[in-house]
Structure 1
Amino acid sequence: MFRLLLIGLVLFPLGPAYGAQSTERDSLNALADARGALRSHIRQLRRIRPSPGTPRIAREARPKVIRRLDDAGTVIPGNAWIVGHRIGLRVMQGELDQALAMAEVCRAEPWWCDALRGFVLHAREEFVEAESAFDASVDGMPADLHCEWLEELPRFLLGGESAREFRRLACPEQIEEERRVWWLADPLYLIAGNDRKTEHYARMVAMELHHQWLALEGSTCSPAHHEAQVKQGWPDWWWSVERTNRHLGDGSGYRFIARGLAGLNPLESVPGDWSLDGSSSAEWYDPPYGPIYPLEPQTAFFRRGDRFLAAVAVDIAGLELEADAIVDAALVLTREPDELHPGVREETSDGSRYLFEAMVPAEPHVLSIELLSSEDGAARGRFAHGLPGEPSEGLDLSDILLWDWSEGVNQEVDAVLPRMLGSSHVPADQEVGVFWELYGAAPGDAIDVSISAQPQDRGLLSRVTDLLRITSPPEGLRLEWSEGMSADEAPARGRTLALNLSQLRPGRYTLELQVSGESGDPVIRTKEIELYR
């Protein structure tokens, strides 16, 4: 557990006595009066049984304590303990303008002043400025203290192998790894600043102030209590009897710290690794723009020399967000903390879905598809995607792209993209267009092509009913054909067909495309789809 920074004034002196009439005795008396005022306030709150009236009682009691702390602050304005609680109580009181003004003229140790400024700015939802202030704080704090703060990550926020890998690193390496943790944990890349990161550091400041509250009564914070605060927000009810904003914990929220492959190797992760589901044992954070709903977009990559054309479509209809209230939408592709590639957004003519395109280096990327509403919250889908980094010898394929079939559409990606389906949920009662690009075929080559839709595992109950012949097992679909390459085709040969899936039962299927030439192994691409009626 990180040290009590200020109790006993070990790290921080009283601060210089400003003014001719300020003596060391005046400073000691001022500090004693401030501690006594806060101790009395804590005792008053502890005597109150939590009820709907508790916030009002606490709000009415705080101004008296704040005045006495302010009086002490005029005598010893450089004292870190006093300035911390003057600012902390004002944040609790909702006096964020006054708290920020006080943080801006803080005379304590610079790193602690930066931490308090970040604390206030986070409460004001000024996340860019808060992140900058916290970065300055950790850069300026004593090195051993920074290492202790870093230890909170593997102890409470990271899990499994991610925590073990973090602990194997020396402290200087952990500093770099922390950048990676917060890069992956950023809730929405389309919002400037990383509010999950600033939330964590705001909790650390709140916890330090809370430790000091407890020390005034001669008590300490239990490990379980400390863990809960770091994971889920502000501590005991007497500290958080009235929340002036939705940050610093409110008993529920979303888990943003990457887990599984998303944490260890994000470029190989799948959507499930980025689940936002928060449980009682996990870290969580409830952002001010929440709730955050899951997105299941359709994604397809196409080769363009040493680049990928990334195409993404997401349905707007059927979302919990009202389409008219969506104020921003973004596709962001990233491979490392300082590399964010935004996509170009378009909207279909009927307003039913958003389409995104981006040109990125021909390597796997983490994709984040994000929508932000002015009324209903936000939505996000995040996962890794990419074709093999180097084209295979001979034939190669793009991803499979599903589109709203229509006769007469050219077999070119630019013609198909405006009709790209916004998810892999496919209606079984109508034809669906399937598009792909073929690379590496020479004029005159004979190419064998097959496409199939095979049912995925249906679970124990479905298998039992099939076995007892209560239901018939689902059948798949397979088409095969051969074609020759003409001399006038472009190097990236677009192919499209209409697939009739009406004979298949609803459920999850694997769509598999396979091509092979006269020599060499077949090239295969797959896409998971779900049929519905």
Structure 2
Amino acid sequence: MLTSSALTVAALALSGGDVRYGAPPDTGPYAHDARSVSAAARGAPLQRAPASAIQSSPDSAAIHERARRLQSRFESNRLRYLPRTLGGGHPDCDEVIGRLCIWDDGDDGWTPRPEPEKIVALRTELLAALDSLAREIPGDHWVFGQRIRYLVEAGRLEDAASLADRCGLPDRWRCDAYLGYVRHRQQSIHGAEQAFRRALDAMPARIFADWTDPEPVLGRDLRRWVSEQPDSAAAMDRLWMLADPLFLAPGNDRWSAHMSRWSYAMSSEEARNPYRMPWGDDLEEVTVRYGWPVAWERSWRTGGGTGYSVSGLDYPGEFRSFPPLEVLDWGRERVEPVVWELRDGHARTKHSPPYLDSLSVLEGQIGRFWRRNGVLVMGAWESPRLERADLAPDATVDPAELRNRIVAGVAHGAGPGPLAAPPLRAGLFVEQDGALGVDVRTTVAAGGPVRLSALAPWSDWGVVSLETWSPETRRAHRLRAGMGFRYIMPDLLTLSDLLLLETGAEPAGPAEVAEVLRTSTEVAGDEPLTLAFEVYGLRSPSELADFRAWVEKSDEGFLTRAVRWLGFGGDREQVMIGWEEGGPERRGPLFRTFSIGLPDLEPGKYEVVIEVTARGHAPLGARRAFTVR
């Protein structure tokens, strides 16, 4: 399972005092983090132009200032009642952004404590006061932004949606931006996308450039890749599509989350925050890259002293959503698929899908057979099993989070009777040039086999995604890999992917292969492997080809394989087969299956390799990884 530690952000020391260990909260200071961010100033923060609306009269200006004082007082009082924990200092920064020190704190089991009732009451009072003031200055976008942000923070999403729907700000794009933010938090991703696109179409050019700038969220290698593409805007659209955690889920919540972070940052300009520092470019960048904390805690310094620090905390389940460069940076000669690995550790940006608690790696296999009108893509895997603990409603979770977790037909609080596992959603997808060339969906039983296939259009390169998702348990698994879908000339000698079949399977032809694909790449040490492949470009039975297949350890280097090839250093011949035959009777693919025994291999990772050599052609090879348990 993919795990990710909580991200911590803390404030570095400000000139004139220590931000982390300041005066009591009612005198004014504050700090943050669960992504832990520590903030210390290295000079004054870079500030954008003031966000508050220019008031049309002295009365409206006074009302606006009254709203700002109320918001500032709430944030000061919030600090007084934050949950307390022992702590002190912070580890080395993984990254410093302006006044902020950021590190992954290593706690992958952190969960937020219940918010103190006093803070809930103070926020309710603030919202009531802002509602009253807003009736006197209805066009003040700063006041409107505070109302939206604090309603969402309080979990009052329906009230926030109603307010956003009634928005009457002169700059209508702000209304749509805040509506998109609320819809995203409601998990109405399509609604959020529509609202954000309206906002982007209408917002000023300078703000549009900021909100669509890839620099905050892309590493140096992906920024270079985008800049090298003929159409950089289309390349960025493709990256956003691939950043979508699950094609099974409606909409692209990674893109709507990015827009939501910008909306949150917009509402935070000129507003006080628990970091006890003016809003600046560094806070904006941290918000856009990592989001805003889901909870706050106040830590007291260990070893004596009366100072404290405030940490803003994020859920540890966040992950890197953008693809690694190797999945995109294909070459004309590349044949083997490139697996997209979900990597742990500190990343430039992270995302936690609102509908998931965990996203794990799917163990399965993907294969391609070439056809006259496209590439047949096949995927096979075992759907994950659901344990009883996965199905039980969690009474500690906010009711808004439970709506998709309760199994159909089982009421919350029902007796301890048996819980039937709901079906899982499963899908096979092929992304090509920023669009889904293949979109196959089904429902499957938990713990059962999944075999899907579809014809993908010709394309230089694409990304295949195998996915399963249980909305009820908020768990998903996926396997993504980049690979080619290029058209192959009929007379070009080529080899398909090598596919693992169920032991002893004897498909009559390639049309039956998808139904007998092995759903697990784990095998017993003495279990024979059954495999299938196709050869293209052999023109007749008189054109002979030499076939050899063997098994080798995955971690063997080139020199080790060369030594084995020369006949030294091992008994490779005991797990090797070979034969010779000609091409098919009629022009077309030569389909073959074969079995190869495993002579009590030790547990570990291996590959079965096939090599095809025809007269006048360079040898062709294909591999399939498997694990001996």
- Aligned partners of 2:319 and 2:344 also within 8 Å: yes
Q: What residue in structure 1 maps to residue 132 of structure 2?
A: 71
Q: What residue in structure 2 maps to residue 18 of structure 1?
A: none
Q: Give 3-state SS (helix, strand or coil) of 1:292's partner.
A: strand
Match of 1:286 among 352, 364, 373: 352
Alpha carbons of 1:399 and 1:236: their partners in 2 closer, same or farther (altered >3 Å)?
closer
For 2:503 and 2:69, how far apart are their aligned partners in 1?
Answer: 75
For 1:506 and 1:425, how far apart are their aligned partners in 2?
Answer: 10
For 1:236 and 1:347, how far apart are their aligned partners in 2?
Answer: 34
- Aligned partners of 2:328 and 2:482 also within 8 Å: no
Match of 1:275 among 333, 341, 344: 341
Structure 1 residue 83: deviation in Å? 1.1
Structure 1 residue 146: deviation in Å? 1.6
Task: Determine whether 1:357 maps to 2:419.
Answer: no
Where do residues 45-56 of structure 1 align in structure 2 (5 Å cutoff)? 45-51=78-84, 54-56=115-117
Q: Specify the code of the residue in structure 2 equivalent to 1:202.
A: S
For 2:316 and 2:152, how far apart are their aligned partners in 1?
Answer: 19
Where do residues 350-389 of structure 1 align in structure 2 (5 Å cutoff)? 352-363=448-459, 364-373=461-470, 374-386=472-484, 389=487
Aligned-residue sequence identity (percent) comes to 24
Alpha carbons of 1:405 and 1:239: their partners in 2 closer, same or farther (altered >3 Å)?
closer
Alpha carbons of 1:132 and 1:189: their partners in 2 closer, same or farther (altered >3 Å)?
same
Structure 1 residue 401: deviation in Å? 1.2
Q: What residue in structure 1 maps to residue 108 of structure 2?
A: none
- Aligned partners of 1:259 and 1:273 also within 8 Å: no
- Aligned partners of 1:4 and 1:212 also within 8 Å: no
Match of 1:185 among 217, 223, 243: 243
- Aligned partners of 2:465 and 2:480 also within 8 Å: yes
For 1:266 and 1:147, how far apart are their aligned partners in 2?
Answer: 32
Q: What residue in structure 1 maps to residue 220 of structure 2?
A: 160
Structure 1 residue 403: deviation in Å? 0.5
Alpha carbons of 1:347 and 1:428: their partners in 2 closer, same or farther (altered >3 Å)?
farther
Match of 1:297 among 364, 377, 381: 364
TM-score (normalizing by structure 2):
0.71
- 1:359-393 Cα shifts (integer Å, max 9, x gaps): 01233320011101122511111111236542474
For 1:42 and 1:123, how far apart are their aligned partners in 2?
Answer: 22
Q: Specify the code of the residue in structure 1 equivalent to 2:190.
A: V
- 1:15-68 Cα shifts (integer Å, max 9, x gaps): 7xxxxxxxx343223222222211221221233343457532221011221122
Q: Give 3-state SS (helix, strand or coil) of 2:261's partner.
A: helix
Match of 2:66 among 21, 26, 33: 33
Task: Determine whether 1:7 maps to 2:51.
Answer: yes
For 1:89 and 1:239, how far apart are their aligned partners in 2?
Answer: 18
Structure 1 residue 8: deviation in Å? 4.2
Where do residues 361-510 of structure 1 align in structure 2 (5 Å cutoff)? 361-363=457-459, 364-373=461-470, 374-386=472-484, 389-391=487-489, 393-406=491-504, 409-441=506-538, 442-457=540-555, 475=572, 477-485=575-583, 487=585, 491-510=588-607
Mean Cα deviation higher: 303-312 or 47-56: 47-56
Q: Give 3-state SS (helix, strand or coil) of 1:358's partner.
A: strand
Q: What residue in structure 2 maps to residue 233 of structure 1?
A: 291
Alpha carbons of 1:270 and 1:238: their partners in 2 closer, same or farther (altered >3 Å)?
farther
RMSD: 3.5
For 1:417 and 1:379, how far apart are their aligned partners in 2?
Answer: 21
Structure 1 residue 217: deviation in Å? 11
- 1:499-531 Cα shifts (integer Å, max 9, x gaps): 111343332233222223333333322222323
Alpha carbons of 1:298 and 1:237: their partners in 2 closer, same or farther (altered >3 Å)?
closer
Structure 1 residue 454: deviation in Å? 2.1
Match of 2:202 among 129, 135, 140: 140
For 1:385 and 1:123, how far apart are their aligned partners in 2?
Answer: 35
- 1:186-218 Cα shifts (integer Å, max 9, x gaps): 000111111111112212222232332239999
Q: Give 3-state SS (helix, strand or coil) of 2:130's partner.
A: helix
Structure 1 residue 183: deviation in Å? 0.9
Task: Determine whether 1:260 maps to 2:325.
Answer: yes
Mean Cα deviation higher: 133-142 or 205-214: 205-214
TM-score (normalizing by structure 1):
0.82
**Structure 2 segments unaligned to the other structure (5+ residues):** 1-44, 85-112, 299-312, 392-419, 561-568
Structure 1 residue 483: deviation in Å? 1.7
For 1:217 and 1:309, how far apart are their aligned partners in 2?
Answer: 54
For 1:317 and 1:95, how far apart are their aligned partners in 2?
Answer: 35
Structure 1 residue 253: deviation in Å? 1.3
Mean Cα deviation higher: 114-123 or 85-94: 85-94
Q: Specify the code of the residue in structure 1 equivalent to 2:453.
A: E
Structure 1 residue 154: deviation in Å? 1.8
Q: Give 3-state SS (helix, strand or coil) of 1:529's partner.
A: strand
For 1:346 and 1:44, how far apart are their aligned partners in 2?
Answer: 50
Structure 1 residue 5: deviation in Å? 6.0
Larger RCO (CA within 8 A; separation ≥ 6): 2
Structure 1 residue 397: deviation in Å? 2.3
For 2:52 and 2:603, how far apart are their aligned partners in 1?
Answer: 68
For 1:132 and 1:59, how far apart are their aligned partners in 2?
Answer: 32
Structure 1 residue 254: deviation in Å? 1.3
The structure that is helix-richer by fraction is 1
Structure 1 residue 224: deviation in Å? 5.2
Structure 1 residue 479: deviation in Å? 1.5
For 1:141 and 1:507, how far apart are their aligned partners in 2?
Answer: 56
For 2:545 and 2:71, how far apart are their aligned partners in 1?
Answer: 81
Alpha carbons of 1:324 and 1:31: their partners in 2 closer, same or farther (altered >3 Å)?
same
Task: Determine whether 1:124 maps to 2:179.
Answer: no
For 2:189 and 2:512, how far apart are their aligned partners in 1?
Answer: 41
Structure 1 residue 340: deviation in Å? 3.9
Alpha carbons of 1:92 and 1:5: their partners in 2 closer, same or farther (altered >3 Å)?
farther
- Aligned partners of 2:369 and 2:496 also within 8 Å: yes
Match of 1:112 among 170, 174, 178: 174
- 1:401-459 Cα shifts (integer Å, max 9, x gaps): 1101336x344123332221124333332222111122232133322211122223269
- Aligned partners of 2:433 and 2:462 also within 8 Å: no
Alpha carbons of 1:272 and 1:40: their partners in 2 closer, same or farther (altered >3 Å)?
farther
Structure 1 residue 3: deviation in Å? 6.0
- Aligned partners of 1:446 and 1:517 also within 8 Å: yes
Q: Give 3-state SS (helix, strand or coil) of 1:7's partner.
A: coil
For 1:327 and 1:236, how far apart are their aligned partners in 2?
Answer: 29
Match of 1:334 among 425, 431, 453: 431
Q: Specify the code of the residue in structure 1 equivalent to 2:457.
A: P
Q: What residue in structure 2 maps to residue 206 of structure 1?
A: 264
For 1:122 and 1:485, how far apart are their aligned partners in 2?
Answer: 57
Structure 1 residue 93: deviation in Å? 1.4
Task: Determine whether 1:43 maps to 2:71.
Answer: no
Q: Specify the code of the residue in structure 1 equivalent to 2:165.
A: E
- Aligned partners of 1:367 and 1:383 also within 8 Å: yes
Structure 1 residue 273: deviation in Å? 6.3
Q: Specify the code of the residue in structure 2 equivalent to 1:82.
A: V
Q: Give 3-state SS (helix, strand or coil) of 1:528's partner.
A: strand
For 1:71 and 1:312, how far apart are their aligned partners in 2?
Answer: 58
For 1:57 and 1:344, how far apart are their aligned partners in 2?
Answer: 47
**Structure 1 segments unaligned to the other structure (5+ residues):** 16-23, 241-247, 464-471
For 1:36 and 1:237, how far apart are their aligned partners in 2?
Answer: 23
- Aligned partners of 2:426 and 2:444 also within 8 Å: no
For 1:290 and 1:397, how far apart are their aligned partners in 2?
Answer: 41
